[in-house]
Amino acid sequence: MVRKKRAFVVGYYDMSNFGDDLFCGVIAARAEKLLPGYQVHIIRQTSPRKRNLFASTSFLGAIYRLTIGIYTVMRADLIVLGGGSVLWGVSGVRKVQWWLSKITGTQFESLGVSIGPFASPSDRADVASFLGSNNRVVVRDNSSQLLGAELAPPFEFGMGGDLASLYPLAGHRQNKNVIEERNIGLALCNFPDFGVTDVDALVGGLIRALDETSVSGVLDRVHVISLNGHPVFGDEAISERAVSLLERAGVQVDFVKYRPGRVDELWAAISSLDGLVAVRLHAAICAYLSAVPFTVLEYHQKCADFCDDVGQDDSLRVRSIPNEQESKEQILQLLNSRATPKFAPSAYVERAHSIYFGD
């Protein structure tokens, strides 16, 4: 009997980050259509001990990651990069895999990825060479498609959108909460330039905006959503600060923390909102795909590229870190606006199915 070819899917899975675990869940659910003809294995860190070791900056952590990488390239007929902002360089374990693949004959595909931005000309050159060696590349934004075509012509880059668009509930309006409540989400992101002062300004603006638009008989409830639970790089500390500030102002607050394996629960929490103030990209993507009005701080090129692709109304775009007054004005726009993205979520999902599955 002929052995079925093996595809190993790699990503930052099971590391307490909602966006990456969403990719993992989509790939697990859609493996037969994404990778037809392959026996699909997803490289995961399924226990706390493995997660801690995989995330460790120690020598043992580096050895563990390298061991997994070598095992994967030796066992796989195909290595699949499964989602995310991963093609800004080719280094570390991936560079070792790429080098070894020339010996093992292992092939590559990249699905739902962003290309760039690059820190150096050598990163740009490495990515160009890597892209040209892939069997298939499906990018998640138009900027990546244009850049990919520039780097590796005449290679064809599919523009399929974010892998979240393949989630079973994507593109469908969810049931909202009772009319006696207005439920607003706040999803922060612990990126380097977003400090305590910025958190305070954003939350202060939210409090003032809610106060100015309050309606008698309607309870305002803020759902502070932490999408990344990493102890150092995650969002829980700044989210806890936001909860404290809101409670002190007398606002009703729910604190929603993402935990590995609970993608469905967090998606449901976002999709039932009346509006979302986001810093985390995948909070905004989830809101968009659930027809929830949103505004997102475009702190990274990937956020701006997403807003460009879906045609986010200009009045709801935040291109720099706002002060408290600017935050209030922006959130008032969200609460009062009827503007919707020009590219309907259902069309975004339909395109994804066409490109990723060939439907």
- Structure confidence by residue, pLDDT tens digits, 224-273: 999 999 888 899 999 999 999 999 999 999 999 998 889 999 999 999 99
pLDDT at 238: 97
pLDDT at 169: 77
- DSSP readout, 217-253? T-EEEEEEEE-B--TTTSSHHHHHHHHHHHHHTT-EE
The domain segmentation of the chain, as residue ranges, is 5-159, 181-342
Shared fold status for 5-159 and 181-342: yes
Would you say residue 177 has pLDDT above 60?
A: no
Contacts of 22 (CB under 8 A, 6+ apart): 163, 164, 167, 263, 267, 282, 286
Contacts of 189 (CB under 8 A, 6+ apart): 227, 228, 235, 279, 280, 281, 297, 299
pLDDT at 176: 61
Answer whether CATH 3.40.50.2000 is correct for domain 181-342.
Answer: yes
Would you say residue 22 has pLDDT above 90?
A: yes
Strand order in the sheet with 294-297: 252-257, 219-226, 181-187, 275-278, 294-297, 317-318
Q: Do 42 and 111 form a contact (C-beta atoms < 8 A)?
A: no
Average pLDDT over residues 183-208: 97
Q: Whose CA is closest to 171, among 291, 23, 341, 292? A: 291
75 sits in which H/E element: helix 59-75
Q: What is the pTM of this model?
A: 0.95
136 sits in which H/E element: strand 134-139
- CATH top class, domain 5-159: alpha beta
